[in-house]
Amino acid sequence: MKANINGITIAYTNSGTGDALVFIHAFPLSRIMWEPQIAPFSKQYRVITLDLRGHGESDALLWNFTLEDYAKDVYELLRHLNVQHATFIGLSMGGYILFTLYRLFPDVVKALVLADTRAQEDHEEGKAGRLSLAQTAYKEGPTSIADMMIPKLLAPTTIENRKNIVAQVRSMILNNQSSGIIVDLMAMASRPDSTSLLPQISCPTLVMVGENDVATPPSESRYIAQRIPHAQLATISHAGHLSNYEQPEAFNQALESFLSKKNNAHERQINVIQN
């Protein structure tokens, strides 16, 4: 499906009924990365995935957008779909966008799942890396970006033994335009530090990480989980950065267990209030 959101076309998928789960994808991918989650979770929840601006089937304008623009697209898409509150699941850049969304629109966030992400802003070396990758995207296009990113996105054993996953990730990257990739890199390089936000996050939160994640290693997730009050931490074995895609069963199990405990806790609270 497609909608006009903030003056551009945003592509999304909306399936199932119930409490809303909104999935925010990583760089430089698309909503296809959440396919292993859509069928299982839409049996019980309303599952919404979207191609962020610059990705997949959404418009890819070349301009100086920030992650605030991305977060505003998510918020306006939910208004378009009449969703007042949701649980948000973001992986890596998706997590950066969730920090921004929480800062701008805390009331829409019922719960957060922060997967394979980090709270710190980019340091000088990280920014220089983004500048160099943006030049590669501009001169050589998404094929070179795929060659450079796949070793960061997937665990070495996945690259070695699971050629279908490598091919699917490559195809997601190739279906993005250079303009979208460049805008992502500029937006991530200029994102604010979110470490001071962590102690202020008051909704139920699950932090997840692939045990072999090299892009945002498990130490980053421990850092986040230790600072968000009552956050839970789940480590996904035999997964790299794309933990939901490399090990969907383990990822889905951890997510399902978080969602059901959160719902039970909510029901217990209602019972206490009613008693």
Residues that bind ligand MLT (CB under 6 A): 26-27, 92-93, 188, 215, 241
Closest distance between ligand MLT and the C-beta of residue 177, in Å? 17
Tell me whether residue 46 or residue 53 sits nearer to ligand MLT (CB atom): 53
Nearest-approach distance from CB 133 to ligand MLT, in angstroms: 9
Sort strands 2-5 and 8-15 into parallel, antiparallel or unpaired.
antiparallel
Instruction: Report whether 255 contacts 112 (CB < 8 A).
Output: no
DSSP classification of residue 232? E
Q: How far is the CB of 118 from ligand MLT (least distance, A)?
A: 7
Smaller CB separation from ligand MLT, 76 or 122: 122
SS3 24: strand
Least CB distance to ligand MLT at residue 92 (A): 3
- Cβ of residue 202: shortest distance to ligand MLT, in angstroms? 25
The residue (of 46 and 208) whose beta carbon lies closer to ligand MLT is: 208
Chain center to CA of 184: 13
Using an 8 Å Cβ cutoff, are 78 and 108 in contact?
A: yes
Nearer to ligand MLT, 52 or 234 (CB): 52
Q: Residue 131 or 265: which CB sits closer to ligand MLT?
A: 131
Closest CA to 181 of 52, 90, 94, 76: 52
Calculate the dihedral angle through the C-alpha atoms of 265, 267, 272, 275, rounding to the nearest 10 degrees. Answer: -160
Structure-block tokens of residue 70? 């991305």
Q: Which residues pair with 4 in a beta bridge?
A: 9
